[in-house]
Chain A
């Protein structure tokens, strides 16, 4: 984020950045793997988004609390271990209390560890600012991610299954375009939503950070 260090951003700015201006998935193209994989149904998309938000909030806060202690040399492995820890906690909580969601999301739950959003926010925000703003950043970036997943899975579920959140909409009226819930449909829906987002915010996409997870290491 383009804030000056030691100039802790206000809650409103954090919220707007996370949800719209620097939406991790739709603007920064981070966290694409789950975006395409679990958006076949709105329930799954929301579940994944909220699970990731929970991990993001916890990891941001933990990393911010430890930011004075973690040496520069082992910065990345430390962040990764902390993130992996919280992901595993969420995994077992889901297995115990939301088993249907756990089965629907499958291996994409442990894969939250490799979700660029978590490492990017750790490096760019939690490492620099106090715990409470970091918690908020985690919350709003997570909600921005959830918003993206929600939008894409709405498109895919309505067009591909004729239902929304399980409620039957057009399923019995005409045969849905099953392609939308198959892999090609994922790419298509993602492309459509980003195009729509571009049109709405009237701007070109911010530099995709996807391959790098941080702006300093931009690939050509």
Chain B
């Protein structure tokens, strides 16, 4: 009996010791991690909706995600400046080439114009999918200052002079292009469901 007891107790003691140390480390790093996440979100919001300086989260009603576009939406924030409603910031997670999805922060003014897109975490294919998400490339710019009359349409090899609601996908990276398209379309649909004062219709 003794020969099982001592090893088991030692093992238990080590487990307990490690657990205590980990609990302390966790408590110690928790505030730093939370602060970072908050700072990152605040920076994203300010970047995509420059006209606002205060944000409050909008509680989305149950079952609001009625189509595949709205399903990408994670959170919606109303932006105000001097108490006046200036627009909305939408956080979306859209499935791309990688199952983990692309995190996007999209800003829309109170008139429904796309004011900014910020790309967050993603693991898209380097050289292909990343071409879509790179700010220096042309893809994302197609969405800026866009106020489409109808739903956005993703096309390949867009003809010159075609209407602006048609988005030209990047050759060889259609899946990642679709991911962004779905998220922005979702954001537009959300903004259509809000009144000019920023309340849910």
Contact = CB atoms under 8 A, between A and B. Distances in A.
Nearest to B20: A85
B104 to A, nearest CB: 16
14 contacts: A40-B126, A70-B10, A74-B10, A74-B11, A78-B14, A81-B11, A81-B14, A89-B25, A92-B26, A93-B25, A95-B29, A96-B33, A97-B32, A161-B126
3 cross-chain pairs, A with B, having the tightest CB-CB distances, nearest first: A85-B18, A96-B32, A96-B29
Interface residues of B, number: 22
B75 interface: no
Contacts of B33: 92, 95-96, 99
The B interface, classified by DSSP as helix, strand, loop or mixed, is helix
Contacts of A103: 121
Contacts of B11: 74, 77-78, 81
B191 to A, nearest CB: 29
Given A71-B6, A82-B14, A82-B18, A178 B36 contact: no
Given A74-B10, A89-B21, A81 B15 contact: yes
B9 to A, nearest CB: 10
B10 A99 contact: no
Given A81-B15, A81-B18, A82-B18, A69 B126 contact: no
Interface of A: 40, 66, 69-71, 73-74, 77-78, 81-82, 84-85, 88-89, 92-93, 95-97, 99, 103, 160-161, 176, 178, 181-182
Contacts of B83: none
The A interface, classified by DSSP as helix, strand, loop or mixed, is helix
Given A70-B10, A74-B8, A89-B21, 6 more contacts: A71-B6, A81-B15, A85-B22, A96-B33, A96-B36, A99-B36
A108 to B, nearest CB: 13
